[in-house]
Amino acid sequence: MTAHPPIHATAVAVRRRGVWKAVLILGRSGAGKSDLGLRLIDKGWRLVSDDYTRVWASGGALYAAAPETIAGRIEARGVGIVTAPTWPLARVVLAVEAEEAPSERLPEPAARMIAGVAVPLLTLDLKQASAVAKVAVALQTL
């Protein structure tokens, strides 16, 4: 196991084919990381960590968990800090990064190196209504 300092990201997980898979949502403050996380949770996903996420590499895979001080809580901007259904840790299979410019229609596959692990990368406008569906579709390809 290779430790890595917590990163500025929200992580949510969903169970697919008997395995919990996490998506790491990256972006600047106010980009919509927690908002997208809340919308995925509303669709049955579980919160792993909001805002800061502990990540580590093990066996060539990347894993995520919440720092103890914030476990089980997520920011609902304009409402406050709320509790959410959680999953304590999960393997990260996709990174979603907030974009500032319009999306490419047919982007080339991309990856982000996190803790020495190449993670498939999807770049999205996190605040678009379709972001939840796009994350779900991207996850199906992995």
- What residue has token string 């939840």? 132
Of 120, 85, 113, 118, which is closest to residue 13 (Cα–Cα)?
A: 85
Looking at residue 2, its pLDDT comes to 55
CATH of the domain at 119: 3.40.50.300
Question: What's the total number of domains in the chain?
Answer: 1
Query: Above pLDDT 70, what percent of the chain?
Result: 96
Looking at residue 105, its pLDDT comes to 76
Average pLDDT over residues 110-115: 95
Distance CA 127, CA 109 (A): 22
Looking at residue 3, its pLDDT comes to 61
What domain range is 104 assigned to?
A: 2-140
Residue 28 identity: R
pTM of the model: 0.92
